[in-house]
Structure 1
Amino acid sequence: MRQEVWLPPWLEQHRHRAWIGDVLLAAAQVVLVLKLQQPVVTGATVALAVFAAAAVLLRRRVPERILMVATGVAVLTMITETVAAGLFITLGVLTFSAAAYSPRRRPWRQAALVWGAIVITGSVMDFGSWWGPDQFGLFAWIFGGAGAGDSARMRRAYISEVTERARQAEQTREQEARRRVMDERLRIARELHDVVAHHIAVISVHAGAAGHALRDRPEEVWPVLDHIRGAADTVLDEIKSVISVLRDPNESDPTEPAPGLERLDDLLDGLRTTGFQVRRQEHGERRPLPAMVDLAAYRIVQEALTNAHRYGDGSALLDVTYRPGELEIQVTNRIVWPRPRRSGSGFGLLGMRERAAAAHGQVTAGPIPGGGFRVHAVLPALQGSLT
């Protein structure tokens, strides 16, 4: 099985330019090996020059192996006394390459093995003449190549890490932007459902009353039509307030406060004009609520009463209880059987639960014994409880 060759990512992207540089460096190695052997150039010197060129061309593909082979060739030439001085320059280049391109980071071990093999062989062959000032130059060349290669490796790794983090950060920003868009779409959809469902239900009831009035008491149709027109104007105004921010991104924040429990009287009065009777009870001391809780409480009451109006017997009980640290809302009504054929979409109950969850509260809804239906919500009621 052929073993896959590891290459740095930057080298994969610039393979052709790297190959041209290797060819030029190989040619320079040939010139150095031959030049340093003048005035006598033998066949062995030419063979070593060709080997140095081949080693440079293979240094990126198999950096550690070619370094070990070149070290073995240098040791062999020292034993046979055919050593070429230019070959030691090649060893420094190959040490740099092994430190820079090897899959494993161990530059000082590689440099120590190369220098140790050369020093041991030189000491064994001619200890007296081997140790001299020139050996400090060989040491600096071998270990300097390893240090430079390791620095180049670390720099590429740093650039690669910074690039990857930038890419991930950009991807995270895009995902966060998409998530916020989805959250905003869900919020707008929930607002529209709450507003439209309530007022359209009122309009539907008034339209039915107008139909009966036209057949039996035509003179009473005008107040009913006024209620329909008023409900239609109200729903249009509320829809405009919900989606107006989408029309102009530079538009300032709306000055009208979001609806809260202080508008319950208007909500109940609008329902009573349709003949729907709501009995309201309050327990505990009324106090200011966090804006998110106040809005969620109003919308939950609005949706629960709208459902009670649509599916109930024409009456409901609204119970609002202020307790230390929480607000409890309960809407109870009797269900008319058989229920209307047109069933709801289910988004009303889902919207109530989502609003409660956004305010760190909860909503439960379902039938109760005796043929009734109850919506029960518990929301935190302390200022700062949502931070």
Structure 2
Amino acid sequence: METSSKTLRDGLRDGLRELGAALTTPAASGEAPLAGASKAWVRYLPYAVVLAFVASLLPVTVTVLVNDYRLGGALAGALATAQTAPLLLAVTRPLPAWWIVGTADVLGALALLGADGTPGRSWPWTPMVVVGYLLLTVLLGLRESRRTLVAVWLATGVAGFVFELLSQDRSDGVHLLLFVLSGVTLVLTYALRARGEAQRRLVVQETISEAERAQRTLLEERARIARELHDVVAHHMSVITVQADSAPYRIDGLPDAAREEFAAIAGSARESLTEMRRLLTVLRSEETKGELAPQPGLDRLQQLVEATVRAGVHTELTYSPEPGAVPQAVQLSAYRIVQEALANVVRHSPSSARTEVSVRVVGGDLVVLVLNGPPLEPTPPLEHGGTGHGLVGMRERVRLAGGTLDAGPLDRGGFRVEARLPLRTKGADRP
């Protein structure tokens, strides 16, 4: 019994929350105000409410017109139907319904002008007309444009003012009441809808801004990687240039054709270096022009680990490959991955957690593993949140190297980063 009661309360709470959100959502042409709701009872709620109003107003209007205003039964029935039944149409098409109801209200006021029971009673609008018209303005405010709503409100005031001039002795000021109440209703419903539209635009803009930030981060990381790889490639091109230039002096008995070939190789290498320097001026920003130090490799991993230990995190390094056996570009990617992983450990991991760094060759891949275990005691980390930019850079480096990256939290606590970087590019051995 308690379970079913709790389920009912939860369902009602979720429905009311969805109802509040749906009320601020502008419906498309031909749709009810809550047509986008996921719950069926919320979608049918406007029809149920309007049907309840029509079912109440129609017989009451006929009764009041016949008994109080002493209008003929046929005419009273026709007016009551024209003033109330179109409210059902207003659920999906409020403006056409307003034309019908407004015309019927004006005709009703003209008919009551000569009725025997009108003196001393509300005129030109009956109480039922006021209630039905206010419901109609609610549906108009949730759908129509601001210009249309202003026109409807002014038309309501003009109609009441004309009847006031037509018969001042019969008017009791109800036209002024309807004018004020309809204006308030239109303003409130339009403001509610405008607030919902503003919130949705804000959500869309935040989504776009987040996507733009992610794209900018990716582009910045790619530019940084390109700058670093430039230094690696430039080193190799410099070696080629020096070897080609010195070959005629190091190798005796070279034929003239070979000397010319080495000279051509050296010239092409120099041109390539010049073009790469031009490329670097595009990639390197003003803040990074001074970065002229050699790019790091696997031989500097121990320095990273020692810096992490000095930061208060117990870290161990297991290293097996010889640096000379790993291409410089792969060494640079591996170093940056370990550097970013250890930086995240220092920022986000409790100081009592142990970290293991492993670099080994498995098959034709260099496997880099950074394993941050669960904390041994409850010590807070330096930072609780992050931007995720570090993982973006890791994935981009691994993607450019043609490898794979597996990063994520561990079931027992901690975090794991494993990158597999191919030591040889596919097709590198082909002639």
- TM-score band w.r.t. shorter chain: 0.3 to 0.5
* Largest Rg, 1 or 2: 1
TM-score by length of 1: 0.47
